[in-house]
Amino acid sequence: MSRFEDIFGQPPAVIAQAPGRVNLLGEHTDYNDGFVLPTAIPQQTTVSLRPSGGGEFIVHAADLASESRFGRDAPPGDHFAQYVYGCIRGVEASGTHVPILDIHVRSTVPMGVGLSSSAALEVAMLRALRDLLSLDIDDVRIAQMAQRAEIDHAGVNCGIMDQMASSLADSSRMLFLDTRTLERRVLPRPAGTELLVLDSGLSRSLAASAYNMRRAECEAASNALGIAALRDVTDASSVDSLPEPQRRRARHVVSENRRVLEAANGVDAEHFGRLMNASHASLRDDYEVSVPTLDALVEMLQSHPDVHGARLTGAGFGGACVALCREGAAAGAGRDVIERYRRAGHVGRMLVPEPEENP
């Protein structure tokens, strides 16, 4: 894998990193002003850069072996470079001139599986710019600027969970976040547990269009209920007056918020696992963002003796699943389930714990 020096002939001025994230509970709640409970994963994105004195920005993506060049006022065509461009524009919009840069990106965060490789890139890029330009911005501001970059320049109308998790979470604890007020608490995982994350191998091709549709359905539901956001539902039965599918969408958001609050109060591993299983059922039946093969993988996880609970994670339609396992048993459970999944005709892989042969 190339280094900055190999590509640009001299060392970088700054190097910054940010992790991907896996969400344990609180799916599709962030754009409803609700509650989420993600944690960082060990995989990181690293951005190295230095002012070049040249005429255009150059972004070298080591993992993609590709390079993108763009000017200050010309958005790049390459998807990965749009996140970088969005961060540069965000810093300029806040009043700081960004010099023309040589930029090198490498990442161990799996791409396209719902573990927020884009948030990791944005947060790492903004951390690098903060260091280079001595910007007076804290980690929450970084998350907000990263979200803006994604919405305005990568065209994804996302909530703020991923960027807050990448900017503020660590991989040993959970970040309980109120996405309306951005109040947060760092919480321990239930005692004696370990996380397992598997990639279902299913591409998330429907995710972007369905994501926007679900957002619109939630907005329609909160408008019909006369509230600012579904977070404000106080009587769960009030959603029963909504037409379908809004009723079920709202029911998911209300029940999912409740599960996050319950988990954040401190529950044991068994209880947390039950909340994860209920979250998956709600995402499958009420929110309809699962697919049968993903359900099958989640069921294989849920029925494993070392697994307390499991669910799809991220936007859905494919990508990754997360399971809460008995401490020390995650890698073994992962291998067992991947093998069962393979016998059922599908190809999955273990992402966390990081398998040695798949760094």
Residues of the shown chain interacting with ligand GLA in the complex, contacts defined by CB under 6 A:
27-28, 30-31, 158-159, 161-162, 314-315
Residue 201 backbone phi and psi in degrees, to 5: 75, 0
C-alpha angle 268-38-314 in degrees, rounded to nearest 5: 115
CB 315, min distance to ligand GLA, A: 4
DSSP of 11-62: --SEEEEEEEEEEEE-TT-GGGT-EEEEEEEEEEEEEEEEE--SSSEEEEET
Dig out the tokens for 247 from the structure.
């009723």
CA distances from residue 134 to 80, 120, 208 in whole angstroms, order as listed: 25, 20, 35
Q: Which residues have a Cβ under 8 Å from the Cβ of 173 and sit 6 or more positions away? A: 39, 186, 187, 188, 189
Quote the radius of gyration of the chain (alpha carbons, Å). Answer: 20
CB 158, min distance to ligand GLA, A: 3
Dig out the tokens for 348 from the structure.
């999955």
CB 127, min distance to ligand GLA, A: 19
Q: Which residues have a Cβ under 8 Å from the Cβ of 189 and sit 6 or more positions away? A: 39, 172, 173, 174, 195, 324
Nearer to ligand GLA, 103 or 323 (CB): 323
Nearer to ligand GLA, 217 or 306 (CB): 217
CB 215, min distance to ligand GLA, A: 8
Nearer to ligand GLA, 159 or 273 (CB): 159
Nearer to ligand GLA, 30 or 199 (CB): 30
* Residue of 122, 278, 109 lying closest to 197 (CA atoms): 109
102 is a catalytic site residue = no
The whole-angstrom distance between residue 260's C-alpha and the CA centroid of its chain comes to 16
CB 114, min distance to ligand GLA, A: 6
Cα(163)–Cα(144) distance, rounded to whole angstroms?
7
Given 30, 162, 286, 306, the catalytic residue: 162
Nearer to ligand GLA, 30 or 122 (CB): 30
Nearer to ligand GLA, 122 or 194 (CB): 122
Start-end of H helices in the chain: 4-8, 79-93, 117-133, 139-153, 161-168, 207-225, 246-264, 269-285, 292-302, 330-343
CB 28, min distance to ligand GLA, A: 5
> Which residues are identified as catalytic?
162
